[in-house]
Amino acid sequence: MSHGRFDNPIVAALAGFWDLFRKQDLSDKLTDDDRFDGKTLLVTGANSGLGFAIAVEAARRGAHVIMAGRSKIPEAGDKVKKLSGSGKVEMRYLDLSKLDTIHQFAEGLERDHIKLDVTILNAGVALAKARKTDSGLEEMFLVNYLSNVALTNLLLDKGIVDTEKTNSCKPRILFISSDSHQGSSAVDYDEFGTFYEYGPSKGISDYSYFKLLLNTYATELSRRVNGQEIKAGINVMCPGPVHSNIVKEAPFLIRIVLKGIFKIIFRSPEKACLPVIYMSVSKDYEGVTNQYQHMFNVKDMDPKVYDPDEGKKLWDRSINLWKEVDPAAIQVNGL
Ligand SMILES: NC(=O)c1ccc[n+]([C@@H]2O[C@H](COP(=O)([O-])OP(=O)(O)OC[C@H]3O[C@@H](n4cnc5c(N)ncnc54)[C@H](OP(=O)(O)O)[C@@H]3O)[C@@H](O)[C@H]2O)c1
């Protein structure tokens, strides 16, 4: 059976504590001159926490921001407009636990001739017990992993993320992951996509394990999109410990303890979003792909993530599983 690095949410939360004292090598590389003027940026899970802060900061730096989310529409978007002073902010409905909304979302972008310069796959959940979605898949597996496969494939297939762009500004895709993926077990293909019941400790363990899947997929996507030449910068980052709403589904007492830890120790989303902005806009990331940053430090992911055989196997199994649960699933030409 698969397992992640932690099976205790409080230990998992405290593990991030030391990261806050590490030197942040690249933190002075992001300057006020790093701007998105003329660029369109999508961020999923944009109504809360890190995603919301990314939306504000990107809008402040001149981006046309598309905030995707399943709740607080349009309030969160109105708040981003107010905080950033930008009118170039819109919200679109996307519930990653419902596969049909992913298709509708992508079709909406296509219909409106949107081309994304920056795509940030940020949405995520940490569930304390299993929930079955309409597709039959477990919700955390779907939202944190397989829906990101579906969304990126649809965006690439429709040319919304245009990898054939001839100018130097290649599109960027950034996966928001977690350093807790390090040390997760290898992908367990016997249980891949199978619904099973779990409680809080297996839930926290699966959260890290699904981030390992996400990172392995991102690495394989980068390999497939970028053959001889870099057509898109496809990178992964962990924001470090963020004072957000990620623990909202934890059991009551654990939630109270975690909220306290988050409030006292963790960084604000406004601060935590800065390395995300750096990777999304900086010239330092032009032509860079398959790089992992833990906050403002470049680092290696778990070694399993880089294994090409594992990447291919996970890709094939993921696309096949998507096809099994979604009659509208697609296979992108050339990938
Ligand atoms: N907080 C941390 O310490 C930390 C550390 C490492 C990595 N991360 C990662 O950072 C990312 C952002 O999380 P956060 O900390 O900012 O937590 P958050 O405040 O809970 O934000 C998560 C976002 O994901 C959205 N989301 C959840 N389920 C969704 C669904 N079915 N469809 C669409 N959107 C959905 C949430 O929307 P609703 O508000 O509607 O639920 C919310 O906007 C996640 O990928 C998380 O794994 C966080």
> Would the CB of 27 count as within 6 Å of ligand 1?
no
pLDDT at 8 over 90: no
User: Of ligand 1's atoms, which has the minimum distance to the CA of residue 16?
Assistant: 3
The closest alpha carbon to 65, from 238, 47, 274, belongs to: 47
Rounded CA separation 77/89 (Å): 7
> Would the CB of 95 count as within 6 Å of ligand 1?
yes
What distances in angstroms separate CA 25 from CA 21, 29, 62, one per listed residue? Answer: 12, 9, 26
The three-point CA angle 241-242-248 to 5° equals 110
Per-residue confidence (pLDDT) for residue 35, from 0 to 100: 98
Kindly give the distance from the C-alpha atom of residue 333 to the centroid of ligand 1, in angstroms, as a whole number: 31
Kindly give the distance from the C-alpha atom of residue 70 to the centroid of ligand 1, in angstroms, as a whole number: 11
> Would the CB of 67 count as within 6 Å of ligand 1?
no
Residue type, 329: A
- Alpha helices of 282-327 — where are they, by DSSP H? 308-325
> Tell me, what DSSP letter sits at residue 149?
H
Mean pLDDT, rounded, for 311-318? 98
Burial class (CB in 10 A: 0-12, 13-18, 19+), 39: buried
Q: Which residue has the least CA distance to atom 17 on ligand 1?
A: 246
State pTM to two decimals.
0.97
Return the higher-pLDDT residue of 10 and 314.
314
What is the length of the chain? 335
Kindly give the distance from the C-alpha atom of residue 52 to the centroid of ligand 1, in angstroms, as a whole number: 10
Encode pLDDT of 253-294 as tens digits: 888 888 888 888 889 999 999 999 999 999 999 999 999 999
In whole numbers, what is the pLDDT of the chain averaged over residues? 94
User: Of ligand 1's atoms, which has the minimum distance to the CA of residue 52?
Assistant: 43
Mean pLDDT, rounded, for 197-211? 93
Encode pLDDT of 92-130 as tens digits: 999 999 999 999 999 999 999 999 999 999 999 999 999
Mean pLDDT, rounded, for 27-43? 97
Domains and CATH numbers, the chain: 9-325 (3.40.50.720)
Encode pLDDT of 124-172 as tens digits: 999 999 999 999 999 999 999 999 999 999 999 999 999 998 776 899 9
Sequence-distant (6+) residues with CB within 8 A of 65 are 40, 41, 43, 46, 55, 58, 59, 80, 86, 88, 89, 90
Kindly give the distance from the C-alpha atom of residue 121 to the centroid of ligand 1, in angstroms, as a whole number: 10
User: Of ligand 1's atoms, which has the minimum distance to the CA of residue 180?
Assistant: 6
Kindly give the distance from the C-alpha atom of residue 144 to the centroid of ligand 1, in angstroms, as a whole number: 9
Binned at pLDDT 50, 70 and 90, residue 228 comes out as confident
Per-residue confidence (pLDDT) for residue 257, from 0 to 100: 84
Per-residue confidence (pLDDT) for residue 292, from 0 to 100: 98
The three-point CA angle 229-235-241 to 5° equals 170
Q: Which residue has the least CA distance to atom 42 on ligand 1?
A: 45
Binned at pLDDT 50, 70 and 90, residue 12 comes out as confident
> Would the CB of 122 count as within 6 Å of ligand 1?
yes
> Would the CB of 121 count as within 6 Å of ligand 1?
no
Burial class (CB in 10 A: 0-12, 13-18, 19+), 75: exposed
Per-residue confidence (pLDDT) for residue 189, from 0 to 100: 95
Rounded CA separation 182/247 (Å): 20
Q: Which residue has the least CA distance to atom 36 on ligand 1?
A: 45
pLDDT at 17 over 80: no
